[in-house]
A and B are shown apart, each in its own frame.
Chain A
Amino acid sequence: MSTQQQQQQQMPPDAVNYASRPGGARHPSGPSENRGGGGAPGPRGRAGIVTTLVLALLLSAVLQQVAFSYRSAAINRNRPEGSPAPSRLANLDSFSLALLLGGLRGPLVMFLWTNSESQKSEKDLESFDTQVELIRLLQPEFDTVHLFQMWNKAYNISAQLASLSNKYAAILDAIEYGQRTDRANPNDINIVTSIGGLYADKLGNSSEKEYYRRRVRTETLPVYKVTFPASRLTEFKQAVKDAGLDETRVRVTTQGGDKSTAILEKLGGDRVLDTFKGTDVTAAAVPRQDLRPESRGGRRTEMDTLLDSRGMVLPKYLAPTRTLPPGVQDNNGAELQYLAQFQPYSYGLSPIALGYNYQKRAQVLARVGRQKHLQLSDMVVDNQPALTLRAWSDEEWERGRRFEQRALGNTAGENVPRELRTSTTAPQSNIVDRIALDQAIFSYDRASKVAAAAVPEFLGHIHLYPSGIQNYASHVDNAKAIVHLTAADAWYLQAIAAATPEERKALLGQAKAEYLQAQRWFDALVLAYYVDDPDAAAVGYTRAKVPGMNLDQLQALMVKWNQRVQSVYKGLDRSPHGEDLKEYNDNLRRIADRLNLIK
C-alpha cells in the first residue's frame, strides 16, 4: 500500500483530499516516484557490497575485542588475577553507566557535585551522604573524586559536628567509603594511602585523638555476652559498679524471667568477670558486628571487631587472597596483612597501627607494583610506614606512662613533665591498680617492639631515597633510644610486681641494662644532632665521631656540654634547639632517676 493510499485511509470521510487534485499535493509524492535515477545494482556490484560488509563486520569484531580488552585492563588494573569484579548494579563502570544513562551521566554528576557542595556550605547534611554515594557510583574510576570525598567527610563534614561520637561516625563513614571503593577497585595506591591516613592521622593524631583512640581500641576488641540467673542481677550490677564502669552503658535484658543477658565491652568486662563468677555465669566473646541489628537507615556509629578475645587478629582479616612465592615481599591480599607480626593486641588495636597496615600496603604497591600516587610523591608514600610506626610507638609509650601513673596511684599533673611524673617511683612501691600495671607493661613492651620495627623501615627508606639521610638518620637513632627506654620501663614495672626479692633483683638487672643502653642512645642523639658544630668543637668532639663512642665517653662529653649550656647560653631554654633538648633532657633525667633507684 502506498503512502498516498495510507493517508487516504486515515483521512476522515469529510476531509478534502488535496493530494488527489492535479498538482495540488502539499508534500512530494511517495516512493512510486523514481528519485534515484539508476537501475538495480548488477551481480558484480552486489558481490562487492557483500565483501565490504563481511570485511567491515570482521574489522569491527577485532576493534571491539581490542577496545574491550583495553577497557577491562583499565577497570581491573589493580585487581589480582582470577578475581573478577563482582557483578552488581553498584559496580557498573563509568563506560556502562554513561550508556545506561543515555549520556546524562555527566550532567547528573555535575548536578550532584554542586548540590552536595552547596549543602555542605549550608550545613544541611541530611541527604549529603546519599549524594556523595551517588557521585561515587557514577564516577567509580575517578580516584581524585574518591580522595576528595574521603577527605571531605573525614575533615570538612566531621568538623561541622560538635558531638565527638558524631565526628567519629563521620570519620568512620569516610573510611567505609574508602573500603567500599577498595572492594570495587582493589589495590589502588591512592585509596589505600588515604585509608591509612584517615586511621593514622585523623583518628590517631587529631586534636580529639584521646577519644578516637579509646573508641578504636575498645571497638576492635570483641564484646562479652554474659548470661547469668536473673536472681543475680543485683550482684551483677554491683560488680559492674565496683569495676568502675558506667552502669548506664551496660545493656542488660532479662528473657523469660529466669535468665539475664548483659553485653559488656571486653576490657571493662574482664574486670567485672574477675569478681562476678560462678558455674551459672557464662561469658562468650562475640564480634560486635554479630550483635548489630540489621538497619536500613542510619550510618555506622562504631567499628567492626577485628580481634578475638586473646587479641589475635580475626582469621578472615589475615587470610591471603593470593599465594606469594617464598622470599617475595608483596601484598598477599589480606586486609590486615602487616599487623600479624605484632600480635597479640590484648588491649585493642591502635588507630595508628591500622594506619601503618594500610601505609605499608601502599608502600609495597609503589615499590613492587610500581604504582604512582596522584597527589603524593613516591618518597612520601615510601616514608609513611616508618613514620607511622614511630607515631604508633610514641602512642604506646604515652599510654604506658598514663597507665603507670594510674597503677601506682601517682597524681602528678600536667605541670610536671610526663617523663618525670613516675621517674622516682621506687621498685618496692605499692601497686594501686594491678590491671593498669599490666596494661602499662604491655604498652611499654609494644612501644619497644614497634620502635624496633621502625628502624629497618627507616633504613630501607634511606636506602631508596638517600637524600633524606640527614633527617631519617636522627629518626633511626631516636627509635633505637625508645626501644631501650620503653623496654627498661617494662622490666622496671615487672620488678615492682615481682613476687619475690630475687625475682625483683633479676628484673631490675634487666631494666638497668636497658636504661644504660637508652642513656647511650639519648646522649648520642643530643651530641650528634642537637649541638651545633662550633659548640661541639668547644666541648671537644666532632659530630661524625659520636656513633663510635661508648657510654663513658658520651657521658663525659654530656657533662661538658651541660656546663657550656649554663656558661654560654645561661640555660637550656636559651640554647639553640632548646625545645628538643628539653625533651631529651627529661628522658635522660628519668633514666638517671631510675638508675639511682636500681642502685
Chain B
Amino acid sequence: MSWLIAQTAPDSVPGYVGWIIVALIVLLGLAVGLSDVVRFSPKRIWAISSVGFRESIRRRVLWVTPLAMIGIIAVTQLAHPVDEQDAIRQTTKYCLFASGIVVVIATLILACTSLPKEIDNRVIYTIVTKPATRLEIVLGKTLGFARTSALMLLVMGLFSFIYLKINAAQLQASIQNRLQTMPASDPSRGTLQHYADEGLLQARTYARPAALQVYARVPRPGDKYTWTVGAAEQSIHVPFALPEELFDPNHPEAQLVFNIQVATDQPRPLTRREIENEMPDPTATTRPSTQGVQKWPGKPRIAVSLLNENANTVVSGTQLMDVMHLDQVRTKDPSVFKDAQSVLLEGISGQSGTGRAVIAVPPKWIQERLKAIPAAADGTRLVYLLITPLTTGTQFGFGADAVTASAVMADASGKPVPMPIRPPAKDGKPLEPSFRGRLSSTHAQQLRGDSDRAEAPVGVYAFHESGLVAPAGSDTVPFEFRTKVERSGEAESTEAENVTNVELTLFNHKTGYTSPSIMITPDSDRPTFFKAPKAGVEGGDFDLYVRSRTDGHYVGLRTNSVAVVASTQSFAFNLVKSLVILWMLSVLVVIISIFCSTFVSWPIAVVLTLVILLGRWCVVQLGDPSSPQQMATDFFGPSANAVGTRVFTDTVGALNKVLNLTAKVLPDVDQFRVTEDIERGVTITPRALLDPLLVILTFGLPMLILAYVFLRKKEVAP
C-alpha cells in the first residue's frame, strides 16, 4: 500500500490546482443558486446578521472578556522578564494571545451551535419562511458573528492598549530610577538609556543592509586592490558562469583553468598570538631585532576549491590541480598531482609584492561534479571559486581582474584552445566577487578582535535604502545590532569585566561624510542599540563599518545582524492592525464553523472546525522532521537490515506525501500571525494584512459557497 502511494501520489501539487478547485466551487455555487444570487439583498443580510449579533450579546458572550483580562493581569504578574523591554514584549504577547483565544473560542462555539440549535428548536422556521434565501442566511450569520467578534476585539483591544500604556509608564519610571543609581560605565546603561529615550511601546520599520563583506581594511574608491587577512580568517568567492560547451560529451578532454594574481603585504613580524596559533611554516624567517629575534611570515599561500550556489563544496582542494607546482610530485602516476589545498604563490617578474597561481579542474571532475550542477536557462552553470589566504601575518590584495577563468578544449586539429569564461550577470550587471569572514559554528562570519585598530579586520554593511526617513527634530538615527560573541583562549579571564568592544563607523556615499567612531559593548544574541549621526545615513546609500576591538573576542556577523530604523509609526495603529488580523482569523473560524454546522451536529462541528483549522499545522509538524532515510538511521542505526529499512522509509515517505497533500487543501492559519512583529516593536506591513485576506478569499469563500450549497440542499423545514 505504502509502495502504491509512494509511486502514485505526486511529490508536489502545482499552485494553480488550488485556484482551479476554487473556481470549480464558485461555479458549483452559481449553478446551484444562481437564482439566489439574483435575489441577493444586502439589507436582508444585515437584518439576519443583526439577529445573530443580538442573540450573541443576549447569550452574554462579552462576559468572557473580563475573565480574559483577569487572566492577562495574573500571568503578567508571574512573568520573569530579562529587562523592561522584555516585560512589555511579554505583556503584549499575553494581551494578543488572550484576545485571540477568547475571540476564536467564542466565535467557534457561537457559529457552530447557531444553525443546529435553530434547526433543532425550529427557530429556523421563522427565517426560512420569510423571503430570505439560503445564501442570505449563510452570509447573514457569518456577518453577524463577525460583528460579534469585532466587538469583542474592540473591548480587548481597548483593554490591551490601556494596560500596556500603564505598564509602559511604570516601567519607564523604573528605568529612570535605575539610570539614576547606575554608574556611568555600567555595561547595561546604553540599553537602558535607549529604552528611556525611545520608549517601550514602539512600532518601527527597519531597513536591513543589502550586503555584508569582510575585509582586512576598508576599501576606498580608487584603491587598486581589495585586501583580505591571511591565516584562513577570510576568503573571497569569485562567481563564474560555466558555458554549456564545457560539458559537451564530444570534448571529454575539456579542462577548466583559473589564473589567480594576488598582491601580498607582509609589513610586520608575527605577533605572539600568531606564533602560538600558526602551524609550522618552513618558509617563515627569523631576523634579529632590538627586541630579540623576530619571526616573519612565510611565503604567501592560498587554498582553492569550487562551490555551488548554496556555498557547498563541489570540487575540493584535493581534487584541484596546482598547475605551477606539478613538478613537486615525485611519482609518475598521472592520477597523482599537486593539489590546491596549499598553493604557493609564485612571484611575477617585474611586479614586486605580487604572486600568481594557476589552478586546473581535471576533466573527470568537470564531467562528474560540475555537470551535476543544475543549468540555468541559457545552459550555463554557476560556480564560485573559493580562495582562502592561508599565510599568517600577511594581507592579500585582489584587483579587478585578480581571477580569470578559461575553458581549454581541443579544436578540430586537436590543438588545445582556451575559451574565456565570463562572470555571470544579474540585472544586466556582472556579479562581483564577495569577501567573507571565516564561518563560525553558527554560520556567522567571524570578525577577529584586535585592540590595534589597524590590525582589526572590518565588516562592511552596505545599505541602499532610499525610503529612509530620519526622525524629525533629531540629529541621530537609531540602529539595532545583534551578534554572537565568541571568546578564544587569548581572551583573558581575570577579575575585570573584559567586555567585547565593537567600533562602528558610518560612511555616506552620497555626501562623503564619515561619522566619528561609536563604541558599543554587545553580548551574544541580545540586541544592542546605538544612535548614529543623521548625516551618516542621509540619502540612504551608506556603509556601516564594524570592527571588534577586544583581543581574543570574535564577533559573528550576518547580513541581518544590523538594522536601521527607517520609519516609525504609532503603537496604537500597529495594535489596530494586529486586531484586524485577529478579526480576519475569527471570520475564517466563523465560516468554517457554519460550513461544518450545515451537515453535522454542533459538537461534531466544533471538533471538525478545530481539525480543519489546526490540521495544516499538525500535518506540517508531522511531515517536517528529517528525511525518512535519516529517521530510519536514527531509529535502527546505520547497519540495520536493508529490507526493514526500505519498508520503513517507503511507509514514512508515503505517509509524508499523503500528509503534505492533505496540508495543501487545509487553510494556512500561519498567515494570521499577530504577535511576532508587534511584540518586537516592528511595524506590521500591509503584506501581513494581505496574506490572511488571501486565505479568506481562497479558502473561506469556497467554504462559504459550499455551506450555502449544503444548506440549500438540507431540509430544515417542511
Contacts and interface: CB of A to CB of B under 8 A. Distances in A.
Interface of A: 10-12, 14-16, 89-90, 123-127, 129-130, 132-134, 137, 160-166, 207-208, 210-211, 213-214, 246, 248-251, 253, 263, 291-299, 301
Contact of B174 (A11, A248, A293, A299): A293
26 contacts: A12-B126, A14-B126, A123-B525, A125-B526, A126-B81, A130-B78, A130-B81, A161-B523, A161-B526, A162-B484, A162-B486, A162-B487, A162-B523, A165-B499, A166-B523, A214-B495, A246-B185, A248-B184, A292-B181, A294-B177, A297-B81, A298-B81, A298-B82, A298-B87, A299-B82, A301-B188
A207, A246, A248, A293 pick with most chain B CB within 10 angstroms = A293
A89 B71 CA distance: 13
Nearest to A210: B495
Contacts of B495: 210-211, 213-214
Given A163-B499, A297-B171, A297-B174, A132 B524 contact: no
B178 interface: yes
A293 B122 CA distance: 65
Contacts of B500: 162-163
B639 interface: no
A90 B88 CA distance: 21
B102 to A, nearest CB: 16
Contacts of A211: 493-498
Contact of B178 (A130, A163, A164, A298): A298
Interface residues of B, number: 54
A585 B689 CA distance: 76
A293 B177 contact: yes
Contacts of A127: 79, 81, 86, 89-90, 93
B86 A297 contact: yes
B143 to A, nearest CB: 23
Contacts of A10: 121
B225 to A, nearest CB: 34
A326 B182 CA distance: 48
B74 A89 contact: yes
A134 to B, nearest CB: 6
A298 B80 contact: no
Interface string B126-164: 100100000000000000000000000000000000000
A15 B487 contact: no
Contacts of A248: 183-185
A29 to B, nearest CB: 17
B129 A14 contact: yes
Nearest to A133: B80
Nearest to A11: B122
B125 A12 contact: yes
B185 A297 contact: no
B170 interface: yes
A137 B78 contact: yes
A11 B497 CA distance: 80
B8 interface: no
A294 B81 CA distance: 14
Given A15-B125, A293-B174, 16 more contacts: A89-B74, A127-B81, A129-B81, A133-B78, A160-B524, A163-B187, A249-B183, A250-B183, A251-B181, A251-B184, A253-B180, A293-B177, A294-B177, A297-B81, A297-B87, A298-B81
B187 A165 contact: yes
A291 B178 CA distance: 10
Contact of B525 (A124, A129, A296, A297): A124
Contacts of A263: 181
A126 B89 contact: yes
A268 B485 CA distance: 31
Contacts of A11: 122
Contacts of B177: 293-295
Closest 10 pairs (CB-CB, A-B): A162-B485, A293-B177, A297-B84, A297-B87, A248-B185, A129-B80, A133-B80, A163-B523, A214-B495, A123-B525
Nearest to A299: B82
A167 B180 CA distance: 24
Nearest to A167: B523
Contacts of B123: 12
Interface in B43-91: 74, 78-90
A15 B127 CA distance: 11
B56 to A, nearest CB: 19
Nearest to A211: B495
Nearest to A209: B493
Interface of B: 74, 78-90, 93, 121-123, 125-126, 129, 170-171, 174, 177-178, 180-185, 187-188, 484-487, 493-500, 521-526, 553, 718
A292 B181 CA distance: 8
Nearest to B79: A130
A16 B182 CA distance: 80
Given A163-B187, A297-B174, A298-B178, A134 B78 contact: yes
A166, A249, A296 pick with most chain B CB within 10 angstroms = A296
Nearest to B129: A14
Contact of B171 (A90, A124, A213, A296): A296
Nearest to A131: B80
A291 B181 contact: yes
A284 B536 CA distance: 49
A296 B170 contact: yes
A129 B82 contact: yes
Given A123-B525, A127-B90, A301-B188, A16 B79 contact: no
A16, A126, A249, A294 pick with most chain B CB within 10 angstroms = A126
A353 B86 CA distance: 34
Contact of B86 (A14, A126, A214): A126
A133, A137, A214, A295 pick with most chain B CB within 10 angstroms = A295
A166 B524 CA distance: 10
Nearest to B523: A163
A15, A211, A251 pick with most chain B CB within 10 angstroms = A15
Nearest to B84: A297
Contact of A125 (B82, B122, B180, B494): B82
A403 to B, nearest CB: 13
A163 B185 CA distance: 14
A122 to B, nearest CB: 9
A165 B497 contact: yes
A130 B174 contact: no
Contact of A126 (B82, B122, B497): B82
B509 to A, nearest CB: 32
Nearest to B90: A127
Nearest to A128: B82
Contacts of A89: 74
B82, B177, B484, B498 pick with most chain A CB within 10 angstroms = B82
Nearest to A126: B86
B171 A163 contact: no
B292 to A, nearest CB: 16
Nearest to A123: B525
A294 B181 CA distance: 11
A502 B172 CA distance: 65
Contacts of A208: 493
Nearest to B93: A127
Given A14-B125, A163-B499, A211-B496, A130 B524 contact: no
A292 B180 CA distance: 11
A294 B171 CA distance: 10
A299 to B, nearest CB: 6
